[in-house]
Amino acid sequence: MSAPSFFVASFASLIMIGTAGLLWLPGLYAGPGLGLLDALFTATSAVCVTGLIVVDTATYFTSWGQLWILLLFQLGGIGLITLTTAIIGAMGKRLSLRTEMTSVSGVHRDGAQAIWQLARRVARFTLTVELVAALALFLLWLPRFSAPRALWHAVFQSVSAFCNAGFSTFSDSLVQFDDSPATLLIMSALIIAGGFGFLTIGELARTRTAAGRRDRRRISSHAYAVVIATAALLVLGTVGYAALEWNGALAGLAPHDRVFNAWFASTTARTAGFNSIDYSTLGNAAGFLTILLMVVGGSPGSTAGGLKTTTIAVLVAWAWSRSRSRKFIGMHGRAIPESTLENTVSITMLYLVVATASFFVLSVVQGNGGGAAEHDSFLPIAFECVSAFSTVGLSMGTTGELAAPGKIVVIALMFIGRVGLLAFFSAVLLRRRTAAQFHPAREDLVVG
């Protein structure tokens, strides 16, 4: 089995296990259990760390049911990458460069780093961050809830935020904490850390540790692109939400709370799926801003989805270099290989094609017979498609209204968006290479 096929099959297997558990394990539901399609939808959303829900996680599931969902998005978010690398290591095989790139979503690491060492470091880093954040949330929420409930809410939200899963044990997600800047900041920090990725954070930590030494390492172009793109999107998103919804969805809050909620909206829209405001009340401009942020998503090697920050950074660097008539694409004092640009363009085109096609199909199956009602559903359906494809989990209220064909479309989007476009299409379309490959004669054509 090829590396992409193994990676895709691992996610598919975990989804099947999650679906079977939701159907057959006892004690998961407070009332009647889910049907097959809704169980598959919920398991896919959890494993693909999306957060779109057809039932309320807080009231429909018991504590055991919520624990099952937590295990699914913990494994799907970061654990599956750790497990797959560990399994390959146990088989006595070293990851090839291509397999490494698949396993960490396109970021390659030093070849000398052992597979088991990588798996242990990822697991240790993940658990440490989640436990520290859970403790902080527990102490913060202790006055609001009893100690057992505060502890469970804190652990669930901490794991969900770091994995960028978007599931919550609160029926209103985090709307009840819209006046708690500390809660929003802790959750934002978890989302950003999960969206950065282990390898980028590790590199930044090593660079900081080496600060002031003669052997100080230069930060890589990858980490540079991740940091600059993430910071720019957070700032621009915060300013955008504050400007567009100051007297809209943010109205009724104190001025400083409006700023913190605008910051949180900018953070969570990138791929986390939590909300402290009602997204169904957003205006068209703010809704479209959210779609743009969801399209970008997080960074490679993380639990985030979307096109990725580095993809956008390469496209911007390409446009900037061409505007200055450079023959190379420059970033951070280095030239970006042409192969990277080719991958970037391929990923972008595949994303646009799949997103557009799925939006068309979902518009057809969710049609309201035309007229004003169907026109009003244009933005919510586009919002739903991008949210599912970028594994974000935000919704304008469309998820609960999906018909069976619409749920199937969204399930497919969540799965493809999580495993990655290149990995998915490589696994589906990969064919055995012929012994000899011939390059056809070149012929130009007019474009533009």
pLDDT in tens, 18-39: 999 999 999 999 999 999 999 9
What token pair was written down for 235? 């700032």
Q: What is the pTM of this model?
A: 0.88
Mean of the per-residue pLDDT values for the chain? 84
What pLDDT score does 330 carry?
Answer: 81
Closest CA to 199 of 100, 272, 89: 100
Say if CB 117 and CB 190 are below 8 A apart. Answer: no
Instruction: Give the pair of three-digit tokens for residue 7.
Output: 């990676």
Q: Which of 58, 24, 59, 49 is nearest to 39 (CA)?
A: 24
Q: What interhelical angle do 147-162 and 181-196 show, nearest 10? A: 40
- Residue 212 CA to residue 119 CA, distance in Å, equals 30
- Fill in the DSSP letter of residue 33: P
Strand partners, 61: 29
Q: What does the pLDDT read at residue 431?
A: 55
Q: What pLDDT, on the 0 to 100 scale, is given for residue 326?
A: 80
388: Cα separation from own chain's centroid: 10
User: What proportion of the chain, given as a percentage, has pLDDT over 90?
Assistant: 53
Model pLDDT, residue 368: 64
What ranges do the domains of the chain cover?
3-429
Specify the pLDDT at position 95: 46
pLDDT at 290: 95
> Which residues have CB under 8 Å from 271's CB, separation 6+?
164, 191, 195, 294, 297, 298, 303, 304, 305, 306, 390, 391, 392
| pLDDT digits 0-9 by tens, 390-447 | 999 999 988 988 999 999 999 999 999 988 887 788 777 765 554 456 678 877 788 7
The separation between the first and the last C-alpha atoms of the chain, rounded to the nearest angstrom, is 41
Distance, CA of 301 to CA of 109 (rounded, Å) = 10
The H or E element spanning position 340 is: helix 338-365
> What is the SS3 assignment for 131?
helix
Q: Which helix (H) or strand (E) holds 243?
A: helix 221-245
* Helices (H), ranges, 246-337: 255-268, 284-296, 309-323
Residues contacting residue 438 through CB under 8 Å, at least 6 positions apart: none
The full length of the chain comes to 448
Is residue 74 within 8 Å of residue 66, measured between CB atoms? no
Distance CA 138, CA 153 (A): 8
Mean pLDDT by 10 residues, the chain (448 residues): 76 94 94 94 94 94 96 84 57 46 43 62 86 96 93 96 93 93 95 83 72 63 88 95 94 94 94 90 93 90 84 90 81 83 89 93 80 76 94 91 93 91 76 58 77
Nearest to 34 by CA among 49, 45, 21, 48: 21
The DSSP line for 51-78 is ---SS-HHHHB-HHHHHHHHHHHHIIII
